[in-house]
Amino acid sequence: PYIALQLKAVSVSVSKLINHFSLETNQDMVALGEISVLISVTLAVFTILFGTRHADATEHQDGLILAVALESVVKLLAFLSVGIFVTWFMFDGIGDLTRQAIDNERVVAVANKGFDAGGFAILALLSLLVFVLLPRQFHVTVVENRSEEELRQARWLFPAYLIGINLFVLPIAVAGHIHFNGSINADDFVLLLPLSSGNELIAMVAFIGGLSAGAAMVVVACVALAIMISNDLVLPLILRRQEGRAQPGGYNMEQLILRIRRTAIMVLLFLAYIYYRAADNSQALASIGIVSFAAISQMAPAFFGGLFWERGNARGAIAGMTAGIAVWGYTLLLPTLLEPDHWLIVNGPLGNGLLRPEGILGSALTPLANGVLWSLSLNSLFYLAGSLTRQASSSERIQAGIFVSHHAEQSASRRQAMSRLTVNELIATVSRYLGTKRTERAFESYSTGLGKQADAGAAVDPDMLAFSEQLLASAIGASSSRLVHTLLLKRFEDTSPANLELLDQASEALQYNRDVLQSALDRMDQGISVFDAEYRLAFWNRQFRKLLDLPASIGQAGISLDAIVNELFAVHDLASQGIEASELSAKIVGEEELWLLALSGSERILEIRTSPMPGGGLVVTWHDITERILVAEALREANETLERRVEERTSELVRANQKLERATRLADEANESKTRFLAAAGHDILQPLNAARLYASALQERLGDHKDGQLVQNVGKALESVEDILGAVLAISRLDTGRQETRIQAFPITRIFDQMRIEFNPVAQERGLDLRIVNSSLWLKSDPTLLRRLLQNLISNAIKYTPSGKVLVGCRRRGDNVSIEVCDTGIGMAEEDLASIFTEFRRLDAGAKQAPGLGLGLSIVQRIAGVLGHPVSVQSRQGMGTGFRFVVERAEAEISRTEPRPAEMPAQHSARLEDVFALCIDNDPSILEGMATLLSQWGCEVRTAADREASLNAIGEIGRAPDIVFADYHLDNETGIDVIDAIRNRHGADFPAVLVTADRTQSVKTRADAKGIVMLHKPVRPAGLRAILSMCRTSRDAAE
């Protein structure tokens, strides 16, 4: 009925709420039976999921308790919300509600019914009993309880919660009678008051509170009952049937327990649903709960009788509860299943009115009081009668002894048992736990202390029994010692076989446990000694006496700590160390930190730790650390020797580091010298090489189609090869020495792709290759000049080693980076050759046959990639092609950007160069002569100069500003850029200028770009000069 109460409360609430909204939306009403079925199934599933995940009955169901706690808070808040709404929003407060209640006849009539003292007493009695006995209450209070602190909190928190939950009961009840005037059931007031006032929000809050309360009560009650059913009813039957049968090794008992509990939950909810459907639906919810409370109270006589009456036993408990449940079922449960006017309710069985369920023997009590009093009375009577008709078994008496105070020392039976128990029998019993020798020494010390020798056949007196109990407690604990002595005395009270067998079993178990403990402690390296609250030896192991070199006389229970300390002083002459006995005793008792004691007699060093016990007494551990101390001393000496050796090695290392620093400095200086030499040598070599190129070009044009023209052309190609070698060597030198400057900036990738397309399309077409450079709108963050050179080398290699097919250049977005890829369908490379392709002057056999080269291109690529931080990777298959890729950081695109750009000189070889005034500035006469010869052959008017003054004088001879200036960067005491600036400032003309230099540093290029000066690196290619002059002539003609 208790679970049915919750089902009814939840089902009615859901039905009322759904039907309310159905009326508003003109939808069909929902049947209450359909809702209750769905709710029963849902609660069963929820209970199984939350309450039967593990088989341990004592395990804390944290998730379940958290859900219960949450629903309790939700329920309280919901009820308070409804109470506040009803009191201060439907009415104008307590005063207004009181005035209307006084004027309402129905409320006045209810109030005038008077106080039912008998009914209140019955309810109070039932509440007192079920507060402890209700399964869900017991489960939360006992099973889920973790500590006494939680109980202390519950002492004030639970009553406070009850006060809060009942705070608005009376205002809501009064408001319901006023508002509905008796037209609805009082159980529906909390939900229907907000709905009737049009406040659906408060109604929904009330519904959620009621739903959470009902669900939580069902879950906890079902879980607690399922555990009881499985552990105390079903499992014992299963185990008895399986007793003696061999079970398979994989038999999973836990799963069986879980299935039993889940089945029990479903059966309980099914029975609750059946009762809910069968019971009189006109009953108030509270009356159904009271029926359940009366059923639970039938456990009270056996429960409380077992706590306070020693004679109570299982027969009495079963008889009492059987009678009580039978009377409860007839007087309280049966009327809820029948109609109020049923003949059995009205007339009683066989028409006997004295046996009516609601009025036994013609009682005029209320039906509740009638059922509760008769059921509890017969329950108690049968409990007493059943317990008195049979003697309690040994196990029942022991269980009763746990709760019931025997006052055995004053009982006649105990005195009679002591008169039968002899000293010899007592010693024999104790020796089973402590050993014969130890027990005999202890009792001899006891007798010596009394000044008389005990007769072995004499009866035990209370003092000796107390001493024996205290002695045995030192080994097996006070509670076990008390149990052993109680059973020993009961042996002489009742010599039944059951008691003797029980005593033997308990003695064997205690002896076994003590033997295991003693054996384990004797095998420990540390000495262990346990002293009681009076600092007398209670327990010890073999190592304790061995480490301290104590005689056998010390190894007996009850010897004082002072006696042990005195023996230590005698054996090890501790007084010679300046230690007093009282001082050592105090240190053993009061020093909880580790401390050391040197024993001169055995030359041992002991590490001692004292740990106090909660009930008084000490546990002292004695650990021999002599070897550890000797090792530590040896280690200290070794450390001192090692420190000296470390100092010596450190000095040697410092000297070696100093030599290494000097060698490194010399190497750096040599490297710097090499770099300066390469730069100077490159400049000095490129100067005559540049002049040679100029002379060769002039001679080739002068000879034209002459038979010696081919020789001159071969000279030009040889000079180009020398230029390539020098350029590559100088580039590698700059990259290896770290002198390559970088200018990291954001720029569009299409700028470099366009340059590559212009530069390599003619070469690819000449070789019959399909060069595809895929445009992209991505921007990069890198040095555009070095990146262009890196890409130049890769594309040049791809074209060079691709006999036919195509070369593809493009980029892919990789998160915040961009992968630039150069792929070809060329000759490819074997997997084992990929690791060596970046080595200087390394050329593969297949590549050497395919195209000429130096083997420096990929070395330069690797070094540029290292400077820029763009890792290069390669994939290749021999005969299929090769793919290079390197990763560059992606930059955000910029809408507008102005950058210094060098003047662009389109190649226009067909333009006429007559009357073009070209001024050539260089401090090398051979270069000036070569430039003058070549340009003059093209029809230019050429003037040469070595410095600024000569340049200005040459311009003065012509009488006008030059059309173009070719200047070397490195002049005597000045630069070519300085001379160009001076000429422009003098003549106020912004004429084209070209910086012809062997200096390839970034700083020179940056400065030239800033002045709008085009750079040509020595040796100069005649085609480049011709293109620049043609542009200059075209620009001048367009201006005129």
pLDDT one-digit tens code per residue, 810-842: 999 888 899 999 999 988 888 777 777 777 666
The whole-number pLDDT of residue 731 equals 58
Kindly report, residue by residue over 187-229, the tens digit of the pLDDT. 788 888 888 888 888 888 888 888 888 887 888 778 878 877 8
The whole-number pLDDT of residue 907 equals 42
Quote the CA–CA distance of 4 and 983 in Å, as a whole number: 111
DSSP codes of every residue in 386-432: HHHTSPPPHHHHHHHHHHS---GGG-HHHHHHHHH-BHHHHHHHHHH
Locate tokens 């910086």: which residue?
Answer: 995
Lowest model confidence (mean pLDDT) among 193-207, 255-269, 416-430, 594-608: 416-430
What is the SS3 assignment for 883? strand
pTM above 0.85, yes or no: no
Residue 265 tokens, joined: 């939950």
Kindly report, residue by residue over 240-278, the tens digit of the pLDDT. 676 545 444 444 566 777 888 889 899 988 888 888 777
Lowest model confidence (mean pLDDT) among 429-438, 758-767, 930-939, 952-961: 429-438
Which helix or strand (DSSP H or E) is residue 598 part of?
strand 595-599
Could you state, in order of their start, the residue ranges of all structural domains in the chain? 282-404, 406-522, 527-624, 628-705+900-1040, 740-891
DSSP codes of every residue in 908-924: -TTS--TT-EEEEE-S-
What is the SS3 assignment for 944? strand
CATH number of 740-891: 3.90.1300.10, 3.20.20.10, 1.20.1250.20, 3.30.565.10? 3.30.565.10
* 76 or 1, which is more confident: 76
Quote the CA–CA distance of 469 and 291 in Å, as a whole number: 51
The whole-number pLDDT of residue 908 equals 42
- Rounded to an integer, the average pLDDT of 630-655 is 86
User: Residue 688: what are its φ and ψ, rounded to 5°?
Assistant: -65, -30
Asked if residue 218 lies in contact with residue 7, where contact means CB atoms within 8 angstroms, the answer is yes
**Is 867's pLDDT higher than 90?**
no
Asked if residue 606 lies in contact with residue 590, where contact means CB atoms within 8 angstroms, the answer is no
CATH architecture of 628-705+900-1040: 3-Layer(aba) Sandwich (3.40)
* Average confidence score pLDDT of the chain: 78
The whole-number pLDDT of residue 909 equals 43
DSSP character at residue 541: -
pLDDT band at 728 (very low <50, low <70, confident <90, very high): low
Torsion-angle region of 131 (φ positive above 0: left; ψ -120 to 50: alpha; else: beta) = alpha
Quote the CA–CA distance of 542 and 552 in Å, as a whole number: 11
Torsion of CA 468, 471, 473, 476, to 10 degrees: -110
Count Cβ neighbours within 10 Å for each residue of 807-823 and write b for 16 or more, e otherwise.
Answer: bbbbbeeeeeebebbbb
3-class SS string, 313-331: CHHHHHHHHHHHHHHHHHH
- Rounded to an integer, the average pLDDT of 772-777 is 90
* 870 or 18, which is more confident: 870
Measured from the Cβ of residue 848, the count of other Cβ atoms closer than 10 Å reads 11
Asked if residue 467 lies in contact with residue 446, where contact means CB atoms within 8 angstroms, the answer is yes
pLDDT band at 505 (very low <50, low <70, confident <90, very high): low
Task: Select, from the ranges 231-240, 420-429, 957-966, the one with the highest average predicted confidence (pLDDT).
Answer: 957-966
pLDDT band at 411 (very low <50, low <70, confident <90, very high): very low
Protein fold of 527-624: Beta-Lactamase (3.30.450)
pLDDT over 70 percentage in the chain: 77
* 710 or 964, which is more confident: 964
End-to-end CA gap in the chain: 116
Quote the CA–CA distance of 367 and 359 in Å, as a whole number: 7
What is the SS3 assignment for 830? coil
Quote the CA–CA distance of 1020 and 1029 in Å, as a whole number: 14
The whole-number pLDDT of residue 694 equals 60
Lowest model confidence (mean pLDDT) among 368-372, 504-508, 556-560: 504-508
- Rounded to an integer, the average pLDDT of 87-91 is 90
**Is 843's pLDDT higher than 70?**
no
pLDDT over 90 percentage in the chain: 8
Quote the CA–CA distance of 160 and 365 in Å, as a whole number: 34
List residues bridging with 883 in a β-sheet: 823, 875
Q: Is 605 exposed, middle or buried (0-12, 13-18, 19+ CB in 10 A)?
A: middle
Quote the CA–CA distance of 862 and 841 in Å, as a whole number: 13
List residues bridging with 530 in a β-sheet: 539, 619
Kindly report, residue by residue over 281-328, the tens digit of the pLDDT. 556 566 777 888 888 899 999 888 888 887 788 888 999 999 999 999
- Rounded to an integer, the average pLDDT of 608-631 is 83
Non-local (6+) Cβ contacts of 328 within 8 A are 294, 295, 298, 371, 375
Non-local (6+) Cβ contacts of 172 within 8 A are 82, 83, 86, 189, 190, 193
The whole-number pLDDT of residue 844 equals 63
* Residue in 778, 761, 779 with CA at minimum distance from that of residue 770: 761
Asked if residue 3 lies in contact with residue 268, where contact means CB atoms within 8 angstroms, the answer is yes
Fill in the amino acid letter for 891: A
Which helix or strand (DSSP H or E) is residue 876 part of?
strand 872-877
Quote the CA–CA distance of 274 and 268 in Å, as a whole number: 10
Locate tokens 């397309």: which residue?
Answer: 757
User: Residue 541: what are its φ and ψ, rounded to 5°?
Assistant: -115, 175
Quote the CA–CA distance of 343 and 305 in Å, as a whole number: 39
Quote the CA–CA distance of 250 and 248 in Å, as a whole number: 5
- Rounded to an integer, the average pLDDT of 886-892 is 90
* Residue in 735, 721, 656, 731 with CA at minimum distance from that of residue 692: 721
- Rounded to an integer, the average pLDDT of 604-613 is 84
The whole-number pLDDT of residue 539 equals 76
Non-local (6+) Cβ contacts of 48 within 8 A are 262, 265, 266
The whole-number pLDDT of residue 252 equals 53
The whole-number pLDDT of residue 686 equals 57
Asked if residue 176 lies in contact with residue 83, where contact means CB atoms within 8 angstroms, the answer is no
Asked if residue 47 lies in contact with residue 223, where contact means CB atoms within 8 angstroms, the answer is yes
Quote the CA–CA distance of 252 and 688 in Å, as a whole number: 98
- Rounded to an integer, the average pLDDT of 904-932 is 73
